[in-house]
Structure 1
């Protein structure tokens, strides 16, 4: 696919948007997260053991901030973007993503990779995520090794503490891991 000269700045802005999403999620930056989505964003994340569904920016932020909290260590790397413009103020993108999560409270590691499919719109001159979904390519769990030492932990400082968290069970649908 070729892009016009006029689309190149938009292409780069959409790439920066996805980068900010990954960084804000891993850093627990709610202020930045609120700047990335349309008010009516829709979300469907289909993992091996779960499906998460959210409607609207507030549900999306609640999901992200409560799933990636002070007892979690997370890493999301989105790369290999395949962006297509569908109009002057709309686009869609497919991204490959590697993720790694350590749940200190459950003493469990989740790792895997997934493929995101996003829809973007430009509102008031700014590109935003209007829809995001992913399907897992693979997902694996393992227990956290006894004696592992964590020497840096961003979400311990910036993530929601236990007394600040909201229940997000209504946004999650769990599968039996043995049959996933």
Structure 2
């Protein structure tokens, strides 16, 4: 492959991996289980989310996601999430492999405990081309700091409609 073609391939991979991570965060916020699962390789993804757990495949993490993200009390979601990520550093390490680092600003409202948590941390990912699409093969999150504060009784928490796609 000539230099120009290699540069185009690397830029295309970086663009696709950026879209993968954005779609992953969007799936988290939209409570989209299928979109969340599709972000990872089919078998053997290494996922380390600290207190949420460490897994050697996506299936157990998907089960945690379903249990936490989809939990409802009195017909309302228990947790509402907002993932805002950026500052990517992506290195294409081969024709079908890459690694990257992302900053995350995370906000979560717990409607039962009436708390709001704001966290900052960093992802260290590895991605692999699988079936013509980039998927995460390794996803590690390290929290740098977090603040949890009560939501007063005078604050109204309103939910929108959650729909994937």
TM range, smaller chain: 0.7 to 0.9
Instruction: Provide the secondary structure at the position in 2 that maps to 1:13.
Output: helix
Cα offset, 1:147, TM superposition:
2.0
- Residues 148-176 of structure 1, C-alpha deviations (whole Å, 9 max, x = no match): 11233445x88xxxxxxxxxxxxxxxxxx
Give matches, 1:20-35, under 5 Å.
Answer: 20-35=23-38
User: Which residue of 2 is the match for residue 124 of structure 1?
Assistant: 131
Q: How do residues 66-81 of structure 1 correspond to structure 2 at under 5 angstroms?
A: 66-69=67-70, 70-81=77-88
Q: Note the aligned Cα RMSD (angstroms).
A: 1.8
Contact 1:73 1:154 in 2 (8 A): no
On the 8 A contact 1:17/1:127 being kept in 2, the answer is yes
Paired residues of 1:111 and 1:139 also in contact (CA < 8 A): yes
Larger RCO (alpha carbons 8 Å, 6+ apart): 1
1:135 aligned partner = 142
Contact 1:44 1:132 in 2 (8 A): yes
Aligned to 2:3: none
Runs of 4+ in 1 over 6 A off after TM superposition: none
In the alignment, the residues of structure 2 paired with residue 51 and residue 25 of structure 1 have an alpha-carbon distance, to the nearest angstrom, of 14
| C-alpha separation in 2, matches of 1:14 and 1:67 | 26
Q: Is the 8 A contact 1:33 1:61 kept in 2?
A: yes
- Structure 2 runs not aligned, ≥5 long: 1-5, 71-76
Instruction: Calculate the TM-score normalised by the size of structure 1.
Output: 0.78
Question: Hey, what does 1:167 align to over in structure 2?
Answer: none
Distance in 1 separating the partners of 2:22 and 2:160:
20
Q: Give the match for residue 49 of structure 2.
A: 45
| Residues paired across the two proteins, number | 152
Matched residue, 1:15 = 18
2 CA distance for matches of 1:124 and 1:63? 26
Alignment partner, residue 73 of structure 2: none
In 2, Cα distance between equivalents of 1:10 and 1:85: 7
Contact 1:25 1:33 in 2 (8 A): yes
